[in-house]
Chain A
Amino acid sequence: MPSSSQLDLTFAALADPTRRAILARLAQGDATVNELVEPFAMSQPAISKHLKVLEAAGLVSRRQEAQRRPVHIEALPLADAVGWLETYRKFWEHSYQRLDGLLAELQSFTPKTDKQN
């Protein structure tokens, strides 16, 4: 099981829409910082700052490759983060879908009356 501090870092990193967009871009393939700057209309220092947060959360890694340092997405912390949350989400989604059906059934038996306020 991942440590709580690791999950904290993951969730904090995912809380920002720009960082989620960067991850979405990286899911399609590695990219250099310069390649990331272009579609996001942000300065290089701003993108680099976001990448540092993602890197600290273990969500991306960078390796030296000649003159380039391509950024690579790391899927594992994401899987950790959604793992336990997914369990809850599935549980409640399934339950509440059944509750929708039950509520509809109960209301079909009860004639609708105007509320006395």
Chain B
Amino acid sequence: MQPLSITLPSDREIRITRSFAAPAELVFDCWTIPALIRRWLGPADWVFVTCEFDPRVGGRWRFVTRGPDGFEMGSSGEVLEIARPGWIKMTELYDMDWTGGQTIVTNTITEQGGVTTSVVTVLYANQEAREGARATPMAEGMEMGFKRLDELLEHRPTDRLTD
């Protein structure tokens, strides 16, 4: 079993790898059937207001989640490629567009010896977009203390390379 691993394959990508004690078909279904998606995706204190996913090439998907303080965050996209149980490729665009344009999300699901590994790769429009997640309500909702970090950053030392 592989615990959660997050890597940065390139400047514009982030890759999330994790394995599960379940068959690939079941993991795939949890990614593509709205009644299942709404049970697990996102922090526990955010609830789905809208959860639609049309698992066909050209199919649309839309998620709207509501945080504990009532803030709603929406995202949607199109399914580009899909093959049960091993492959999903889709576009994703947040309503707030903090990612600077749409991202491409791929998910490779492989099963070996009863253990299924999901490799999710998100390709952002650019590097700044990838690193923009810290400024989202998603981050605040999870009490990551970003306000404190922002205060710290205001007192950032100037570039040391010019010393």
Contacts and interface: CB of A to CB of B under 8 A. Distances in A.
A72 to B, nearest CB: 12
B146 A83 contact: yes
A7 B132 CA distance: 13
Contacts of B4: 89, 92-93, 96
A97 to B, nearest CB: 9
Interface stretch (A21-29, A36-44, A102-110): A102-110
Interface of A: 1-2, 4, 6-8, 11, 55-56, 58, 61, 74, 76, 79-80, 83-96, 98-104, 106-107
A107 B144 contact: no
A86 B153 CA distance: 16
Interface of B: 4, 6, 8, 11, 14, 16, 18, 20-22, 26-27, 30, 36, 39-44, 120, 127-128, 130-136, 138-139, 142, 144, 146, 149, 152-153, 156-157, 159-161
A6 B40 CA distance: 35
B128 A4 contact: yes
B22 A80 contact: no
A107 B153 CA distance: 47
Given A94-B142, A99-B30, A83 B134 contact: yes
B12 to A, nearest CB: 11
Contacts of A76: 152-153, 156-157
- Most chain B CB within 10 A, of A6, A8, A99, is at A99
Contact of B20 (A80, A92, A99): A99
Given A1-B153, A99-B40, A11 B8 contact: yes
6 contacts: A56-B160, A87-B136, A92-B16, A92-B120, A96-B40, A107-B22
B6 A4 contact: no
Given A84-B131, A87-B133, A98-B44, A2 B138 contact: no
